Amino acid sequence: MSSKSNVKLTIALTNPDLEPEEQEQETRNLLREIRDLDVESAELVPVTEIPKDTKSVGGFLVGVLQAEVSLANFKKFLGFLRDRLGNKTIELEVEANGKKLKVKASSQQELAAAIEQAQKFIAGN
């Protein structure tokens, strides 16, 4: 379970131009890169409840992964996301101390604003 000093992030990649299998491969590649960072945990999100308009492949939600990072590494992790996902459409959910923030971004500017919002959210917790 997450400790109070960790931040849990759910990252959903959205690319309507990709087939579900291609989207899954892109997500697995991102997951592999995230695991190379200093994170507490990172994994695909298993299907327990399928939200409306969501697909699954092999028991996992397509394009969705979760990571847990320490507060000390949170800013560095967000920098990685900005560099890696700047021009992709994503939904980012940040959870810390029982509070959640959910933001969407589909451009470099929107992602930068979303990251700034997430940093302020965590600083306020």
Mean pLDDT for 101-107 is: 92
Mean pLDDT for 10-24 is: 89
4-16 residue pLDDT tens: 679 999 999 988 8
Q: Where are the domains of the chain?
A: 6-124
CATH topology of domain 6-124: Alpha-Beta Plaits (3.30.70)
Which pLDDT score is estimated for 61? 80
Which pLDDT score is estimated for 60? 77
The alpha helices in the chain, defined as continuous H runs, are 20-35, 71-85, 108-124
Of the candidates 114, 72, 70, 71, the one whose C-alpha atom is nearest the C-alpha of residue 93 is 114
For tokens 């996902």, the residue is 85
Which pLDDT score is estimated for 25? 92
- Phi and psi at 13, nearest 5°, equal -90, 135
* pLDDT band at 54; cut points 50, 70, 90: low
Question: Helix (H, G, I), strand (E, B), or coil: what is residue 39?
Answer: coil
